[in-house]
Amino acid sequence: MAEQMMAADGRTLKSSLNRALRRQKLRALLLITPLLLFILITFVVPIGQMLFRSVENQIVGDTIPRTVEALADWDAATDPVPDEDVFRAFAADMMVAVEERVHTRLGSRLNYETAGISSQFRRSGRDVEDMGEDLTAQFTALDPAWADPATWVALMADPDWIADSATAQTEPAFVVADAARDALPRTADIYADFARVTQVANNDSPTEEQPWNVVYIALYQDLIANPAPQIAGAPDGLLGAAGAAAAGFVAPDIRAAFVDSDAGWGSTVTWQTIQTYSPAYTSSYFLNSIDLKQTPDGIEMAPENQQIYVKLFIRTLIMSLTIMVSCILLGYPVAWMLANLPSRQANLMLILVLLPFWTSLLVRTSAWKVLLQQQGVINDLLVWVGLVADESRLTMINNSTGTIIAMTHILLPFMILPLYSVMKTIPPSYLRAAKSLGATNWTAFWRVYFPQSVPGIGAGSILVFILSIGYYITPEIVGGTSGIFISNRIAYHISSSLNWGLAAALGTILLAVVLALYWAYDRIVGIDNVKLGG
Amino acid sequence: MQQVKNDEAFVAFERVQKSYDGETLVVKDLNLTIPKGEFLTLLGPSGSGKTTCLMMLAGFETATHGDIRLDGVSVNNIPPHKRGIGMVFQNYALFPHMTVGENLSFPLEVRKMGKSEREAKVKRALDMVQMGDFAARRPAQMSGGQQQRVALARALVFEPELVLMDEPLGALDKQLRETLQFEITNLAHQLGITVVYVTHDQTEALTMSDRVAVFNDGRIQQLATPDDLYERPQNSFVAQFIGENNTLTGVVQDISDKSCTVRLDSGDVIDAVPVNVSAVGDRTKVSIRPERVEIDKTRLQPGAHTLKAEVLEFIYMGDIFRTRLRVAGMDDFVIKTRNAPDQVRLTPGTKIDIGWLAQDCRALDA
């Protein structure tokens, strides 16, 4: 075994060296910290959150927790429509959601999966308040005290809360008594929500508001389950009388009320959708991104007229490749010339290459629109020369041709610059040597010059390809319908349809494809073989 | 087209001129013939036109005027790859993406040679430069000297009759350079190839070449064997450029066929051989090599002129002593004496008389 080298102070040489280097490393880290933080805060975290939306589905469980719980045991095969219990739970959830104004958001979410649900939520959101009012009337007829908010507070409130609110300037957050929870679990649960919404969303006090109808429904359910609940300190006889009378009340038919409000609640599909999408995480966005659909019967292909994403992904890949190849073909000779001109002329040419960067992207793209349209400059020229008949002018814009032409032009500098900087490092003596060894101009180029320029092609190709695969503005302006990219669809879901989950899933897939291609490139060509210069 | 096979003029430049900008001539009226098998060096300071000549011969530059013949055939319109000339570059120009073997195989492949023949030739060429074990290496994995050996083998592998070398040893250290100088000349003579070698290093030119063409200002100043060049320079440029040299200026006082006397600007009179002075009164630069200056009066011819000198500096250089003197009013007169047991070591301040054999002192153009 090799003896460890010792430094003068008796430590091993290695640890001594590490100590010396640590300061340097620390300083280097300190120098990049601002950028690191900036990127972390403005880039990594938001993108991570955005991508997380592609699997996140907590909205269903958060908005209608009671329904989700009640639906767990429901089996559509034996029971086409869920029973009254589910509808009562749903009414309670809806009431809370309506008061907090989140029911339409859930409607939109479920609408991605089953069209039409959104309007059901909106419509029933208006009606849910009145559901079960007959029952409430029966309670108040039995004893008018049931209409009095004070009765409810006396029943539900924690004694400490009552004491606190008597002394406090502003009313503290309502606390339900444990005794109430034990005796009337359902009622206590929904009353807690009622008190919270009243205090927070409506800026009111439960001591002054009569509870919602759904609270009475819960009370009815609790009294049916346990006709003689005991709550210490409750008004005398109130609960007992209600418990005795409840069995004789006309049971509320919430299912009928919902179906009456919107027939959609009576259909199996609605409830299947809610049941299928109740878990907190879902693969449905990803399935939708590749034209699949999660149904209660398993994963199926989306209807033919909705299958667009796979086609779009393939089109994006093929068009990006086409743009990349066009850039190589157009850029290579230019880069070669730049690298072989005397530096004065080369600098001038380089400025011409970079000139497009100084013009707005929108201006350049719009210019292509002017040039390429049917009554545009190029068509006019072709007609004038006689190459094209006036009635059969070429369609070069608002399709994939337009996208390829405009994007090749816009991305060309990204190909020329790395090519140029690599070619600049290839000494002319290689070509001379090859010729002196008997190679023709072509052989000398192909066998000697070209292989040495491959790292430049690699760098340029990766740049152009990755830029174009995520390009958005140009296809949006000149792409029409056949020339748009997946990124345009992502933008649509982000800003128009607001289906961020799907946008995130599409974006994640795009990112994965790019990383996979990068990996493949590394395996086949080797990433060391990419040079941006030197 | 003339199809004369002429071993005496294997390569011939006839009245060749070259201009890059259309205003100045880089090569002015070059006439040069190189016989087969000769090792000819083009020597000159940078910008003297020597590399341009080489590039014209290789075909990478075209002559503005004149004719370049290779084995009797004018090559003016033959592209470089058809000239069959081997070439070695200063930066080696080994293809970095190919192994040594592939580099050597390249000229054979473009000549459509069979695989087994190629392999045999590559092996033979690599063995020739003692690089037989390096066939699988990449150029970047080798030292400069090794790369240049491979480059040499590559220039020879397709058996060209003419090989051009453009300062091939310029980037190597001194010791390696000397070894390779020796190897290159040996190989050239062994293979019987004609070599045109460009360098600005005069020692290299003198030790390697059969003949040396000294270039300056677009013209050949002198084309001669190394010893002629050193001992009998034709003009003051060559005398200055080749080796160390003492120059004294003066006017011809008396001239005959084989000798002349020159009155220096200081008033002293010396003996010299007239080289390119023709008449009494011509201004001249007199050239004398440091090692031909005699400090021992007894060894001079009786009646020879001597000059008074004062020792300014004595430098011990190991094998020789280098002494700087003040002679005829000039402070940079140098003499070299061999470090022999009986040699005197002159101490600064000593006043001595110096002289030389008349034939070692050449009266050149002013």
pTM over 0.80? The answer is: no
| Answer CATH for B245-365 from 3.40.50.10470, 3.40.50.10800, 2.40.50.100, 3.30.420.40 | 2.40.50.100
- Tell me how far apart the alpha carbons of residues B90 and B151 are, in angstroms, rounded to a whole number: 10
Contacts of A448 in chain B (CB under 8 A): 95
- Tell me how far apart the alpha carbons of residues A173 and B72 are, in angstroms, rounded to a whole number: 111
pLDDT in tens, chain A (534 residues): 455 667 666 777 888 888 888 988 999 999 999 999 999 999 899 889 888 999 999 999 999 999 999 998 888 888 888 988 899 999 999 999 999 999 999 999 999 888 889 999 999 999 998 898 889 999 999 888 888 888 888 888 888 888 888 888 888 888 888 888 888 899 999 999 999 999 888 888 888 889 999 999 999 999 888 888 888 777 777 888 888 888 888 888 899 999 999 999 999 989 998 988 888 998 889 998 999 888 777 888 888 888 889 999 999 999 999 999 999 999 999 999 999 888 899 889 889 888 878 888 889 888 888 898 888 888 999 999 988 888 888 888 888 899 999 999 999 999 999 999 899 989 888 999 999 999 999 999 999 999 999 889 988 998 899 899 989 889 998 888 888 899 999 999 999 988 899 999 999 999 999 899 888 888 877 777 666 655
Cβ within 8 Å, pair A438-B107: yes
Q: Where in chain A is the domain with CATH 1.10.3720.10?
A: 309-529
Q: Output the six-digit token pair for A508.
A: 């994640």
Contacts of B164 in chain A (CB under 8 A): 436
Residues B148, B154, B156, CA angle at the centre, nearest 5°? 110
DSSP B35-89: -TT-EEEEE--TTSSHHHHHHHHHTSS--SEEEEEETTEE-TTS-GGGT-EEEE-
* Interstrand relation of B65-70 and B11-18 (parallel, antiparallel or unpaired): antiparallel
- Tell me how far apart the alpha carbons of residues B170 and B200 are, in angstroms, rounded to a whole number: 9
Residue A133 CB neighbour total at 10 angstroms: 14
Q: Output the six-digit token pair for A117.
A: 């649900």
Residue B43 CB neighbour total at 10 angstroms: 29
Contacts of A450 in chain B (CB under 8 A): none
DSSP A254-313: HHHHHHHH-GGGGSHHHHHHHHHT-SSB-SHHHHHHTTEEEETTEEEEPPGGG--HHHHH
Contacts of A427 in chain B (CB under 8 A): 91, 93
Among A429, A436, A457, pick the best mutation site for testing chain B contact (most B Cβ within 10 A): A436
Q: What is the spatial order of strands in the sheet that B65-70 belongs to?
A: B27-34, B11-18, B65-70, B73-74
- Tell me how far apart the alpha carbons of residues B14 and B32 are, in angstroms, rounded to a whole number: 7
Distance from CA of A429 to the nearest CA of B (A): 6
**Rg, C-alpha atoms of chain B:** 25
| Cα dist from A423 to A93, A420, A430, A437, B139, whole Å | 68, 5, 12, 22, 19
The secondary structure of residue A157, as a DSSP letter, is B
Cβ within 8 Å, pair A436-B154: no
What is the three-class DSSP state of A113? coil
* Interstrand relation of B39-43 and B246-255 (parallel, antiparallel or unpaired): unpaired
Distance from CA of A1 to the nearest CA of B (A): 31
Q: Quick one: how far is CA A408 from the chain centroid?
A: 30
Question: What would the mean pLDDT of B266-272 be, rounded to a whole number?
Answer: 85
Q: Which residue has the tokens 């640890």?
A: A15
Secondary structure in 3-state letters for A36-84:
HHHHHHHHHHHHHHHHHCCCECHHHHHHCHHHHHHHCCCCCCCCCCCCH
- Tell me how far apart the alpha carbons of residues B157 and A95 are, in angstroms, rounded to a whole number: 93
| Answer CATH for A309-529 from 3.40.640.10, 1.10.3720.10, 3.10.580.10, 1.10.1470.10 | 1.10.3720.10
What is the three-class DSSP state of B254? strand
Q: What is the pLDDT of residue B6?
A: 63
Contacts of B150 in chain A (CB under 8 A): none
- Tell me how far apart the alpha carbons of residues B56 and B30 are, in angstroms, rounded to a whole number: 12
Cβ within 8 Å, pair A435-B97: no
Residue of B nearest to A429 (CA): B93
Q: Output the six-digit token pair for A517.
A: 């291609």
Interface residues of B toward A, Cβ cutoff 8 Å, are 58-60, 79-87, 89, 91, 93, 95-97, 106-107, 110-111, 154-155, 158, 164
Amino acid letter, A115: A
- Tell me how far apart the alpha carbons of residues A50 and A46 are, in angstroms, rounded to a whole number: 6
Cβ within 8 Å, pair B81-A451: no
Range list of H helices, chain B: 50-58, 100-109, 115-128, 144-156, 174-191, 202-208, 226-231, 236-241
- Tell me how far apart the alpha carbons of residues A415 and A435 are, in angstroms, rounded to a whole number: 28
- Tell me how far apart the alpha carbons of residues B31 and B69 are, in angstroms, rounded to a whole number: 11
Q: What is the pLDDT of residue A4?
A: 65
B88 backbone dihedrals φ, ψ, rounded to 5°: -120, 130
Question: What would the mean pLDDT of B130-146 be, rounded to a whole number?
Answer: 90
CATH hierarchy code of domain B7-231: 3.40.50.300
Length of chain B: 366
| Cα dist from A153 to A113, A234, A243, whole Å | 42, 10, 18
Q: Do A509 and A395 form a contact (C-beta atoms < 8 A)?
A: no
